[in-house]
Structure 1
Amino acid sequence: MAIHVQPASIENLRELAIQCAREAGKLSLLRMSQPYTVEYKTSASDLVTAVDKEVEKRVIEMILAKYPEHGVLGEESTFQGDPHQFETLWIIDPIDGTTNFVHQQINFSVSIAVYQKGQGVIGVVYDPSRDELFYAVKGEGAYLNGRKLKLDRQVKLEEALLCTSVFWNKRAEQIGIDRIVKQLAGKVRGMRLLGSAALELSYVAAGRLDGYVSMSLNAWDFAAGRLIVEEAGGIVTKINGQPLPYDEKSSIMACNQAFYEELKHYLRKSEGLNFN
């Protein structure tokens, strides 16, 4: 029997992405109150739980039930097939901030993005612990629970509240960017670390943070948040200012465009080094 393929309109994609994010958040909160297993990936600080895998599997089922011709790139690699063979690619992180999920039970999020031919068209980040839904549609703006987000505040670098994870990144230590960011911390208004890249990017879009700098993020960490920041009027690139890839590991710098050039210039103290 032939499979009936529904047209993937932007509106349909947005509604499904939001539905998947809310379902994933609901499931993660439910499982949080029940016993679950915690495993190490690469180290004691790199965790994965049975909940991560279950949530990702549920989201993939929801996507393929409606769009069997789409591909999925997910953190837990539960999708069967080569994601890069698909014109429409969903990039998902079922629980971004697993360590927070395990220890704090706040500051974690669901990240779901839709890319078509390498271009981001939908980005959704859902914080189930606070019931906050950030989303963006390419060319249509970014929103938080239906309220449009717009980064129009004129802020100087010394007035900025930044967020970074480079102090805990071995690659950052190897190339010396951690020392530069430490100096930067003394120049700006303050530094924060939430432990969920998707949430931190969403906070930049909402103006709760003015900028975010990180090393070695995977595509599922930034795919949705990137579009949300851009649609809110911010700028997102690699730390050295080069374009951000959509499907591979990269450094990232996202901020209010009012001080983007100033921040990039400051970080160029380590120009010539590989920021991937």
Structure 2
Amino acid sequence: MQLQEFPTDAVKELALRCAREAGELSQERLKQPFAVEYKTSASDLVTAIDKEVEQYVVEMIHRQFPDHGILGEESSGAGDVGSHETVWIIDPIDGTTNLVHQQINYAVSIAVYHQGEGVIGVVYDPSRQEMFAAVKGEGAFLNGRRLKLSKSVKLEEALLCTSVFWNKRAEQTGIDQLVKQLAGKARGMRLLGSAALELAYVAAGRLDGYVSMSLHPWDFAAGKLIVEEAGGVVTQISGLPLDYLQNSSVLACNPTFYEELRYHLHSSV
């Protein structure tokens, strides 16, 4: 891919602006009553804020880049995104349940893929005003401070994070039990409820590893690039690469104990 033919700076500037303004909009709407709906179950929520924020971002993108494809969680701008050379993958509110109950621990996630490769990833936490961002080949940053995973981590020293404990496929494959065993071997286990934030926290060294059985592209697309640009590793639990347009399991971690973590998960996949 010849990045000089891609308007990296303009796209990055727009992605950052979209994330920040979307986050500010969500914070404003939280001050007012808002509707909450079920998608597939009482634990799978969508709010009027999700829909409004996504539509806001989609309109911003189309005004500047009308020929770009958009894949969004709430389906705004949906279509045959695979036919577009450049695709924006957006989650307007990653962690909707947290937004509804806590009004913190949620994020705006925006990724841009060009010719099938992730080139820009942005995860913005509006409640803490933390902007995680990465450009392919240029590193990862938190509010302008470079993120670099340089320390060596062993499993017994690791703080891990997962979302497998309510996943039916995890129960069927037994991986939920393996992760429970990991919890007993690691220093600690967390569950934040926002995949984008959890991946960003791996990049920042706040978490040493993250395991999920089934994520949508809008859950991992931005966080994947941020982790990789910070020096981390992101694959499927099987070790195979992620497909940016397909649902997938996700294993993201500090590279110094990737093989050790994979070893403990190997028998289930």
TM-score bin, normalised by smaller chain: over 0.9
Runs of 5+ in structure 2 lacking a partner? none
What's the counterpart of residue 46 of structure 2?
48
Question: Does 2:155 correspond to 1:144?
Answer: no
Note the 1:158-177 alignment, pairs <5 A: 158-177=156-175
Q: How far is the alpha carbon of 1:49 from its aligned partner? A: 0.4
Runs of 5+ in structure 1 lacking a partner? 1-6, 272-276
The C-alpha deviation readout for 1:223-263, integer Å capped at 9, x for no partner, is 00000000000000000111111111000000000000010
Give the root-mean-square deviation of aligned CA atoms: 0.9
Q: How far is the alpha carbon of 1:80 from its aligned partner? A: 4.6
The C-alpha deviation readout for 1:126-166, integer Å capped at 9, x for no partner, is 00000000000000000000000000011111110000010
Q: How far is the alpha carbon of 1:81 from its aligned partner? A: 2.9
3-state SS of 2:186 partner: coil
Contact 2:72-2:78 at 8 Å conserved across structures: no
What's the counterpart of residue 198 of structure 2?
200
Contact 2:71-2:78 at 8 Å conserved across structures: no
- Which of 120, 125, 132 is residue 118 of structure 2 equivalent to? 120
Per mean C-alpha deviation after superposition, the further-off stretch among 134-143 and 80-89 is: 80-89
What's the counterpart of residue 13 of structure 2?
15
2:249 is aligned with what amino acid? S
Q: Which runs of 4+ in 1 moved over 6 A?
A: none
Q: How far is the alpha carbon of 1:9 from its aligned partner? A: 0.9
What's the counterpart of residue 57 of structure 2?
59
CA distance in 1, matches of 2:120, 2:78: 22
Q: How far is the alpha carbon of 1:32 from its aligned partner? A: 0.7
Contact 2:36-2:46 at 8 Å conserved across structures: yes
Q: How far is the alpha carbon of 1:83 from its aligned partner? A: 1.4
Per mean C-alpha deviation after superposition, the further-off stretch among 73-82 and 12-21 is: 73-82
What's the counterpart of residue 103 of structure 1?
101
The C-alpha deviation readout for 1:179-211, integer Å capped at 9, x for no partner, is 110111100000001000000000000000000
3-state SS of 2:241 partner: coil
TM-score scaled by length of structure 1: 0.95
Aligned residues: 265
What's the counterpart of residue 69 of structure 1?
67
CA distance in 2, matches of 1:8, 1:63: 15
What's the counterpart of residue 232 of structure 1?
230
CA distance in 2, matches of 1:50, 1:226: 27
Note the 1:82-97 alignment, pairs <5 A: 82-97=80-95
CA distance in 2, matches of 1:51, 1:171: 30
TM-score scaled by length of structure 2: 0.97
What's the counterpart of residue 152 of structure 2?
154
Per mean C-alpha deviation after superposition, the further-off stretch among 80-89 and 236-245 is: 80-89
3-state SS of 2:87 partner: strand
The C-alpha deviation readout for 1:86-113, integer Å capped at 9, x for no partner, is 1100000000000000000000000000
Q: How far is the alpha carbon of 1:82 from its aligned partner? A: 1.9
CA distance in 2, matches of 1:185, 1:240: 19
